Amino acid sequence: EAGVAQSPRYKIIEKRQSVAFWCNPISGHATLYWYQQILGQGPKLLIQFQNNGVVDDSQLPKDRFSAERLKGVDSTLKIQPAKLEDSAVYLCASSHRASYYGYTFGSGTRLTVV
C-alpha cells in the first residue's frame, strides 16, 4: 500500500512569513496526526484528527498554528506568522483507528525559518 505522503519535503522561509504543509494519509486511515520534531529531540504531538474532527490539539500553539482535515482525508498544517523556533521537521502520521498499532509516519517536511 502507498505510504503517508507529505509535501513539500523542504521549505525555507523568513520569520513572520506564512507556510503550509500538506499530508495525504494512507487510504482508509481514519486517524491523522501532526508531529513537530526539533533537531535532536523526539517527535512531539501537535494535533490529532479522527476523520475530520479534532481529538487532541492541546499542544498546538493556536496563536500561530492551525490545521484542518476537510472531508476526513487530506490535512493541511499552517503556521502564520512563523518564528525562528518553528524550525523543525513536521511529521504526519496516520492509523486505521485511534491506536498506536499501524501508526505510519510520512517522511516529513523540513522547515527552516531564517
Partner 1 sequence: GQQLNQSPQSMFIQEGEDVSMNCTSSSIFNTWLWYKQDPGEGPVLLIALYKAGELTSNGRLTAQFGITRKDSFLNISASIPSDVGIYFCAGLYNNNDMRFGAGTRLTVKP
Binding site residues, partner 1, CB under 8 A: 4, 40-45, 48, 55-56, 91, 93, 98-101, 103-108
CB-count burial class (<10 Å; 0-12, 13-18, 19+) for 49: buried
Nearer to partner 1, 61 or 81 (CB): 61
Nearer to partner 1, 27 or 41 (CB): 41
End-to-end CA distance of the chain: 37
Nearer to partner 1, 28 or 100 (CB): 100
Nearer to partner 1, 15 or 44 (CB): 44
Beta-carbon count within 10 A of 47 CB: 24
Residue 99 contacts by C-beta under 8 Å, 6 or more apart in sequence? 31
